[in-house]
Structure 1
Amino acid sequence: MNFYAARQPILDREKSLVGYELLFRDGLDNVFPQINGDEATSRLIEGSQFTFGLEELTGNKPAFINFTLDTLVKGYASMMGTNEIVVEILETVQPGKRLLALTQQLKEQGYTIALDDYKHQNVWRHFFPHIDIIKVDYLESSLEDIQEIIDAVKPYPNIKLLAEKVETYEQYQQAMDLGFTYFQGFFFSKPEMVQSKALPPSELTLAELLYETSTTDMDLEKITKVFERDVNLSYKLLRYSNSAMFKRRAEISTIKQALVVLGAAEIKKFLSLLFTAQLSSDKPAELMLLSLTRARFAEVLAEKHPGSVDSGRAFLTSMMSLLDAILDQDMAEVVERLPLANDIKVALRDREGDLAKYITLVEQYEQAKWQDANKTMEEMKLDATTVPDAYHEAIHWAQEQIQAIM
């Protein structure tokens, strides 16, 4: 049985990653609400414990997991450590004495407790001394609703507010001004502001190398000379080629030898990875991790379903799909300044062509839009059963890459 789950990052006021909300669905055809909350929680816990390690899904950050009253009564939360999860009480759970007793018990055991999609009712005040986080749906709540919640929790300094479904920079900034501590949504994958950001020399060198390696027949001599004139780039190449991912039989003595050892496919991967890493150095680390996950996800799918799209191009295109957020400018402006192949530019700028479908699919998967994802896979003629494994592999691979290049 396949384990289907997506994750959404949760950031703090410094845009540092604090955890992920895990989103379960029973396959890409059987989408919510055809499965009830009790089964979703139990299947998610079962899958993360026995099918795919929770730490691999979350990178050892806390997992925010939804719990119904029934799953709390059955003690499912205590199957995981207090530092592994945040217990989210679903908005459909009605406040009552039984829920209050369970909340007190979990709090005494050391668990972090959150109220999901909170709508203020005075009865919840009995729970406030035991609550750590209140999640506010920014799309569904008016400013008056939000202010009512802020006023209600003021006497409880133990409670931190989390703004979820924050999809624009303006929403994020408003939530910051209102005093929210945590943020969940896709605001960081949109440009924060449109401004000019020139590429420094090292990044221009990487852009040049990306172009050179995007051709069918790579000019190894020319690429070697580019590396040899940048000591920092050469150091990172040697460090990368010496990582545990590559089982070398001989020591590397030249830049050219390092390039030969890696091979064309890995060189392309290394350069696109390094380019994105340098551009996002002043951005949330999660943005870099998301770029890498997207790239590997697309690459694996292209490899498993050979057709009109080269896996290397799928990798590069999906990795570059967050350049607007990384450079804080419109994607159309970004692609005009990069020496990328035209079909890659069209995919990034206009979301057209076969390469664009990989970006669309990975975004749908990230947001757990399973019905849309299923339609996209049908259009791409992909085998839906391979997608969850590809996503999990991509997460694991991205975490390894971060360690290798940083």
Structure 2
Amino acid sequence: MLATLIPLFDGNMSVCAYSVFARKENHFLNPNLEGGARYDGAGTVHELEVVSSMGVSTLSGGKEVFVPINQFSIFSEISLQCTVPANKVVLLMDNTIKPEEQFIKRVKELKSQGYKLAMRKLPIIQFEPYREILNKCDYILLNHSKIDIQKAKIYFTAVYPNIKLCAVNVDTQDEYDELTKDGGYDLYEGSFFRMPVKESETEVNPLKVNYIELLNVVNDADFDLTDAADVIGKDPALVISLLEIVNRMALNSEITSIRHAAAMMGQKELKRWINTAVTKELCADKPSEITRLVMIRAKFAENLAELYEMAMQGPELFIMGLFSAIDIMLDKTMEEALDMVVVPKLVRQALLENSGDYYKILNFIKRYEDADWIEVSRLMVLDNIDMDKVYEAYLNALRWYRDLIPVT
């Protein structure tokens, strides 16, 4: 099994839902499976296996989860496959589900069971023939480059007033900004939120300069605990977070200073905590999905280390994942951002040059995030990596993130 999550944003860059895409088999080893589609099999919705095993809290922070279904799986016993509340699941249909009596009847049944419904890959010419199905839909996913949203908004408001319009394939920040300015769409899906910074436009926020200083202290080859403690002391939020952690560790000991707290944690744990805590702070003025993205990347990369025979490099791979969007965090190009922080040579090579041993893992993770199962399968075959171990590494990263940043 393979699975990944793709976010859907609103006009304020807040994540409102996630689409979960799963793959049961290694496509590269089973090329006769349905054209590399993101689902396979007839009677089982593999995405629902993921949702049920992990729960919507772990997967999406309690937000709705879009689950693809096809012309076969729509007739499966969905209620038996899914153990989470039906109103948290959006069954994502496509044009393989025809506006025919058997499908219309099934769509009505699923709606009556409490599931939300969405339609994708539906050309404009099919809007009218699909009227009975669209009347039951809560969302429709539209390719923004092929539709006049103002005309579409008028049409859907008049004919389907309860349906939400989702723009897909939003690949750049400029596209997102233009679409949100024009209005019309309720949700947006695409890679725009994590596109590399091509040109620096701002000075680094003074508070972020302090965080960069702290990162450089702890990522030095043999940093001094007192130096790290002194930099932590400049930021009240970090001080509070550090004391909360240490007080849980030292049940019967009185913490007398920040230096004392740092010493209690020790060099290894302090370094790990600072890298994750500071990354959260650097992302504070960015879409929340950036924090989630880099945190899960970091843990996923660390978990994959053993599979790539790099177990000893796990901590550095964790750093690579954390810093994989540092250009976005600092509003600098990747080269300028990496010139500001201390990172291992192989991490810099992976992030800046897209080369080296570490880049193999970073590239794999990015393909995995995009649900590019054909390429993911090919890479697993090339490196003799077990698919189930990859899946467990990803789920472990999701659980770690859930526990690191509890849902509030």
What's the TM-score bracket when you normalise by the shorter of the two chains? 0.7 to 0.9
Kept after mapping to 1: 8 A contact 2:88/2:115: no
- CA shift at 1:293, angstroms? 0.5
1:259 equivalent in alignment to 2:258: no
The 1:105/1:307 distance shift into structure 2, 3 A limit, reads closer
Counterpart selection for 1:85 from 73, 76, 89: 89
Whether 1:189 aligns to 2:188 is no
* Match for residue 64 of structure 1 among 63, 66, 87: 66
SS at match of 2:20: strand
**CA displacement at 1:118 relative to structure 2:** 2.1
Instruction: Mark the runs of 5 or more structure 1 residues left unpaired by the alignment.
Output: none
SS at match of 2:33: coil
Matched, 1:34 2:40: no
Structure-2 separation of matches of 1:182 and 1:100? 26
**Matches of 2:114 and 2:387 in 1, distance apart?**
39
Name 2:210's counterpart in structure 1.
Answer: 205
- Contact 2:22/2:47, CA 8 A, preserved across alignment: yes
Measured against aligned partners, the alpha-carbon deviations of 1:131-189 in whole angstroms (never above 9, x if no partner) come to 21101235xx5246x67654542312211111122221233234322511111121100
The structure 1 segments of at least 4 consecutive aligned residues displaced by more than 6 Å after TM superposition are: none
1:20 aligned partner: 18
- Indicate how the Cα distance of structure 1 residues 329 and 208 shifts in structure 2: closer, same or farther if over 3 A, else same: closer
Query: C-alpha separation between the residues in 2 aligned to 1:386 and 1:214?
Result: 30
- The alpha carbon displacement at 1:32 in A equals 7.8
TM-score by length of 1: 0.86
How far 1:52 sits from its partner (Å)? Answer: 3.6
Contact 1:192–1:325 under 8 Å retained in 2:
yes
* DSSP-derived class of the 1:123 partner: coil
* Partners of 2:268 and 2:378 in 1: CA distance: 30
Where does residue 295 of structure 2 map in the other structure? 292
1:363, CA displacement in angstroms? 0.9
- Structure 2: gaps (5+ residues): none
- The change in CA–CA distance for 1:88 and 1:230 in structure 2 (over 3 A counts) is closer
Residue 230 (structure 1) shift: 4.1
1:123 aligns with 2:126: no
Q: Deviations for 1:31-53, whole angstroms, at most 9, x for unmatched residues? A: 7871564548533323432x443
- Does the Cα contact within 8 Å between 2:66 and 2:89 map onto a contact in 1? yes
Name the SS of the counterpart of 1:127 in structure 2.
helix
Output the amino acid matched with 1:253. T
Kindly tell me the number of residue pairs found equivalent between the two proteins.
397
From the superposition, tell whether residues 32 and 169 of structure 1 become closer, same or farther in structure 2 (CA, over 3 Å). Answer: farther
1:76 aligned residue: 78
Name the CA distance, whole Å, in 2 between partners of 1:360 and 1:248: 43
CA–CA distance in structure 1, aligned partners of residues 169 and 31 of structure 2: 18
Give yes or no for contact 2:9–2:16 (8 Å, CA) kept in 1: yes
Normalization by structure 2: what TM-score?
A: 0.85
Asked if the contact 1:41–1:67 (Cα under 8 Å) also holds between the matched residues in 2, the reply is no
Assess if the C-alpha contact under 8 Å between 2:229 and 2:258 holds in 1.
Answer: yes
CA drift at 1:22 = 0.9
In the other structure, the counterpart of 2:104 is 100
RMSD of aligned residue pairs (Cα, Å): 3.0
Aligned partner of 2:137: which letter? I
2:48 to 21, 45, 49: 45
Tell me the SS of whatever aligns to 1:117: coil
Identity, % of aligned positions: 26
* Greater mean deviation of Cα atoms: 129-138 or 292-301: 129-138
| Cross-structure match for 1:218 | 223
The answer for the alignment partner of 2:8 in structure 1 is 10
Cα contact 2:150–2:184 (8 A) shared by 1: no
2:174 is the counterpart of 1:167: no
User: What residue number does 1:135 align with?
Assistant: 141
Contact 1:357/1:376 (8 A) holds in 2: no
CA distance in 2 between counterparts of 1:77 and 1:207 reads 49
Aligned 8 A contact 1:188 1:325 in 2 = no
Shift of 1:223: 2.1
Segment of structure 1 superposing worse, 362-371 or 262-271: 262-271
Answering whether residue 274 of structure 2 is matched by residue 271 of structure 1, we say: yes
Cα distance, 1:232–1:374 mapped onto 2, change above 3 Å: same
Change over 3 Å in CA distance of 1:242–1:106 after alignment to 2: farther
